[in-house]
Copies of this chain bind each other. A is one copy, B any other.
Amino acid sequence: MTDVAASPADLASSSFFDAALAQLGPRGVTRDADLIDPWLTDWRGRFHGKAQAMASPATTAELSALVRLCAEHGVAIVPQGGNSGMVGGATPDESGEAVLLSLRRMNAIRELDVSGRKVTCEAGVILQTLHEAAEAQGLRFPLTLGGKGSATVGGLVSTNAGGTQVLRHGSMRALVLGLEAVLPDGQVLSMLTPLKKDNRGFDLKQLLIGSEGTLGIVTAATLRLVPAVAERLVIWAGVPTLHAARKLLLHCEDAVGEALEGFEVLPQASLEAVIDLQPATRAPLTEPHPWHVLIEVVADTAGAAGLAGRCEAMLASAFEAQLLDDAVVAMNESQAEAFWLIRESISAAERARGPAVQHDISVPVEAMPAFIEAAVPRLEADWPGTEAIAFGHLGDGNVHFHVIAPPGTDAAAWHRGDGKAISRQVHDLVTQWHGSISAEHGIGQLKRDELARLGDPVALDTMRRIKAALDPKGLLNPGKLI
């Protein structure tokens, strides 16, 4: 008989695993490749990693014990919620040394306080589940996005997620009232009790929101709820230019104030791409227009009275002031949904047209029309055969800026070469316009080098100091963000 010699690394890993197994039990930690593999590739399929094990603690106490163990053994931790992020932020590297930490078992809604309009959720609660729990009580959690069937509260908080209702309700940051997190040494930071006013020093909650699991692991959050929607009007308008769209935005803000929940723009080309992909789609307006605007106006019971009338007046005065060329109000919920479906189909329609590089960018709201008018022809001139398309949340100064490869291009080669160069150029332009190379998707691994290249050196230096102070061994989500 011959013994297979175990390497010191294997032995160390095995001693860590045995200790973790003793703490968490067989449901809490596994090395079974069949169970782990589905979670090692990111949502968009661009990053593939390896992990020595996957841990799935059931409670904050279990998670705290696991993190202590990882700190003792020097094992890196990659937290993961629904694995629906866009920047590879929840995918481990290829070394296979990290533990993949699934938060999905921690999925209790601990408390839903109807009169206080707040809910305390564990990190693994899925957004859709949260929506339904709020609706069942006549309330609403006002953040929503495409991946709502898989995105979890922990991931949404860690990435400060955005979505389509940010114009009115803000990003996740604006909805987090309290937080619980496990720090890199395993200590639990308990800040779940929501206080509307609290000036006891640095706001650590704010530091953790959007830190992508590099400073702490969000285990639960207390979130703000709002009254249910009592009245909703969805409007489709055609405008000649993006500058006109921006003027229309200001007009709508003046006319209906905070009832304005959505203000999305798309060019005629995007509408046509959707119709090409889904021929049953009906263009909302009879004529083509250079730009289209999708407007959503929403009110709860307190604000519903007279809302339809105010919207009608808003459109009439906009038409009179030549702020729009044509507009139609959805006559019923199904038409409203059809309007939104066009907006939500743009990404798929673009993908069907061939390889493309996507950029989730923001500039100051008022600068966005000029930015797009400058950037689109510039990119298309510098990269003959490409097509640049910008669409999305004009009201937030945030658009998805996609550049589609010339027809017939080999996808893989283009992504490695021209695609990469184009992305750098887009990010350079955005930076010159004082904008952000990541408006809502975060940095993760996808944009880490670009952030290091283009970020403010003073801000980067400050972030690195904070990271080193809170996670001196660099074990929390290594290789992400900074």
A: residues with CB less than 8 A from B are: 113, 115-116, 159-160, 162, 166, 171, 173, 183, 187-191, 193-204, 206-207, 209-212, 215, 227, 250, 253-258, 300-303, 305-306, 310, 362-366, 393, 396-398, 434-443, 451, 455-456, 458-463, 465-466, 468-470, 481-482
Do A466 and B470 have beta carbons less than 8 Å apart?
A: yes
Given A195-B435, A256-B302, A458-B188, does the pair A116, B200 have CB atoms closer than 8 Å?
no
Do B443 and A200 have beta carbons less than 8 Å apart?
A: yes
Do B364 and A302 have beta carbons less than 8 Å apart?
A: no
Do B363 and A458 have beta carbons less than 8 Å apart?
A: no
Given A199-B442, A200-B437, A206-B203, does the pair A466, B469 have CB atoms closer than 8 Å?
yes
- The 8 Å CB contact of A198, one of B203, B306, B439, B466, is B439
Residues of chain B within 8 A (CB-CB) of A397 are 195-197
Do B436 and A195 have beta carbons less than 8 Å apart?
A: yes
Instruction: Tell me how far the C-beta of A187 lies from the nearest C-beta in chain B, rounded to whole angstroms.
Output: 5
**Docked pose: A223 CA to B172 CA in angstroms:** 20
Do B466 and A436 have beta carbons less than 8 Å apart?
A: no
Q: Nearest 9 A-B pairs (CB), nearest first?
A: A206-B206, A469-B469, A257-B302, A198-B436, A197-B439, A193-B434, A465-B469, A196-B396, A197-B398
Do B203 and A207 have beta carbons less than 8 Å apart?
A: yes
Do A254 and B301 have beta carbons less than 8 Å apart?
A: yes
Do B116 and A257 have beta carbons less than 8 Å apart?
A: no
Do A197 and B436 have beta carbons less than 8 Å apart?
A: yes
The chain B residue with its CB closest to the CB of A162 is B197
**Docked pose: A363 CA to B193 CA in angstroms:** 9
**Docked pose: A398 CA to B160 CA in angstroms:** 28
Do B201 and A210 have beta carbons less than 8 Å apart?
A: yes
**Docked pose: A227 CA to B203 CA in angstroms:** 29
Residues of chain B within 8 A (CB-CB) of A303 are 257
Q: Sample 28 A-B pairs with CB under 8 A, ordered by A number.
A: A116-B365, A162-B199, A183-B458, A187-B461, A189-B459, A189-B462, A194-B364, A196-B397, A197-B396, A197-B397, A197-B436, A197-B439, A198-B436, A200-B437, A200-B438, A200-B451, A201-B482, A202-B466, A203-B209, A206-B207, A207-B207, A254-B301, A257-B300, A257-B302, A258-B258, A466-B470, A468-B469, A469-B469
**Docked pose: A482 CA to B200 CA in angstroms:** 10
Residues of chain B within 8 A (CB-CB) of A302 are 253-257, 310
Do B207 and A211 have beta carbons less than 8 Å apart?
A: no
Q: Name the residue among A202, A210, A250, A398 with the largest chain B CB count within 10 angstroms.
A: A202
The chain B residue with its CB closest to the CB of A189 is B458
The chain B residue with its CB closest to the CB of A299 is B257
Instruction: Tell me how far the C-beta of A29 lies from the nearest C-beta in chain B, rounded to whole angstroms.
Output: 25
Residues of chain B within 8 A (CB-CB) of A466 are 202, 207, 466, 469-470
**Docked pose: A256 CA to B197 CA in angstroms:** 22
- The 8 Å CB contact of A462, one of B204, B256, B440, is B204
**Docked pose: A195 CA to B437 CA in angstroms:** 11
Do A202 and B215 have beta carbons less than 8 Å apart?
A: yes
Do A455 and B201 have beta carbons less than 8 Å apart?
A: yes
